Amino acid sequence: MGKCFSDAVEQALKYIYYDLRAGKGAEGFALLVEASAQGDGDASCILARCYCGNQYVWSGHDFPEDDDKAVSLIHKAVEQGSGIGVLVALRTGELTPSLEKKMPFANLQEAFDSVDAKAKMGDAFSQYTVANSYFWWDFLRIQGKGRDSFSSEKEYKEFLRQNISKCEDLFQKAFQGGMYFAANNLNRYYSQGDEDIIAPRPELARDLYKRGAEMGFPIHQWFYGEELEEQGKLEDALYWYKLAAQGGQLECWYYVGRAYEEGKGTPKDLSYAAQCYEKGLTQVKDTGKRIGCANRLGALYYDGEGVEKDYAKAFQLLKYGYEHNTTYGVCYLGKCYFRGWGTQQDYVKAREFLEQVDWTNREAFYMLGVIYGQGLGVPVDIKKGVEYLQKAGNNQEAREELLKYKKTLFGKWVRR
């Protein structure tokens, strides 16, 4: 039997929370499934968290998300007599009066005390759970107190301050013990304080993600990389982005690819950048970073930089990005439709994309000039076509196209 929980639960906690880089989240998940089925309420509680997505568990585990299963398991945990199950149910709003009656504890304080005892024994998950009870004010319901329990507002606020402030030491201990989530709430506690009860101390939040990064938490290596990038320390940022990506924070392949593509913090290496984007595209579940990888890899395929030129792949990737509400690839897509590269030639769609280009792109202006000047998919508008061709400046194709038009004595542009 483990020190604070069953052997199965303690092993699962290590795989799922404390040692992320081991890559054994699936093994931890399987341990919880079996233990929960055998009546282990603590296993049911932690398994419920696993089904709740990255708000409760690391995204790198890629656990299935299922709210219905999570709710069912947390109810099961309470009925099976798990103290952490009771506190988590309370925190998530699932501890209804009817469910509370089913728990084998005399009251909420008894359930809290059972978890607090484990926290005092040094269990990081219990420390984190107890800290949350203070941080989110759940202690009021646990202790059965409220504003009416005190003779004055001042007395009530002092009671709140004394209890809320207990979360700080517990979060610190939980963080040091391997619960990276504790640093996230601790960061909020230090940065924002709590109403007019706890004053903010942002200077104490400054090195939290640095600590987490050095402790080996991939998600904190990502956050710390972002902090370093904002400070202009690009080489250091890339170091942590790469370490995070290699440790399973797959979103960071986008940042690594971008650094090698742009030569920021490292010499340019477009081939390696393309490899990073490919990894992000095939492995990352986060839609935002998948889109970023698709857009940038699509551009590399269009230009033939770092990869062999492939307009069909470029079109597919950039269209994926556009369909997910980004305009990064509109110029490339317009050009593909205009020339029939990687897709069927379509001047109507070419114009649709090219007119979304809100920056200077002389080739795009040339194409719009041709479309309007020759009436390709739109009524002929020579004046507008010439204006676009003139905006294209020294673009060779545009200069040649302009020779097809002349100005009459009355200042009207006509085809020669």
Q: Is the CB of residue 297 less than 8 Å from the CB of residue 281?
A: yes
Domain assignment present for 305: no
Domain assignment present for 81: yes
Mean pLDDT score, 380-396: 95
Domain assignment present for 257: no
Buried b / exposed e across 163-200, counting CB within 10 Å, b at 16+? bbebbbebbbbbbebbbbbbbbbbbebbeeebeebbee
Last residue of a domain, one of 209, 228, 257: 209
Mean pLDDT score, 277-285: 83
> 288: which 2 tokens?
């935002």
Supply the CATH number for residue 397's domain: 1.25.40
pLDDT digits (tens, 9 = 90+) for 319-368: 999 999 899 999 999 999 999 999 999 999 999 999 999 899 999 999 99
Last residue of a domain, one of 189, 209, 229: 209
Mean pLDDT score, 3-12: 95
Instruction: Give CA–CA dist 289/24, Å, rounded.
Output: 24
How many separate domains does the chain show? 2
pLDDT value at 412 more than 80: yes
pLDDT digits (tens, 9 = 90+) for 42-95: 999 999 999 998 889 998 898 999 999 999 999 999 999 999 999 999 999 999
Instruction: Give CA–CA dist 82/80, Å, rounded.
Output: 6
pTM for the predicted model, two decimal places: 0.88
pLDDT digits (tens, 9 = 90+) for 394-409: 999 999 999 999 988 8
CA atoms within 13 A on the CB side of 185: 27
Alpha carbon of 303 to those of 20, 314, 394: distances in Å?
38, 9, 21
pLDDT digits (tens, 9 = 90+) for 138-155: 999 999 999 999 999 999
Domain assignment present for 181: yes
Instruction: Give CA–CA dist 298/318, Å, rounded.
Output: 5
> 40: which 2 tokens?
């282990």
Domain assignment present for 281: no
pLDDT value at 317 more than 70: yes
Q: Is the CB of residue 219 less than 8 Å from the CB of residue 180?
A: yes
Last residue of a domain, one of 176, 209, 242: 209
Domain assignment present for 237: no
Domain assignment present for 308: no
Residue 409's domain spans which residues?
349-416
pLDDT digits (tens, 9 = 90+) for 237-264: 999 999 999 999 999 999 999 999 999 9
Instruction: Give CA–CA dist 329/342, Å, rounded.
Output: 14
Instruction: Give CA–CA dist 319/401, Å, rounded.
Output: 29
Domain assignment present for 123: yes
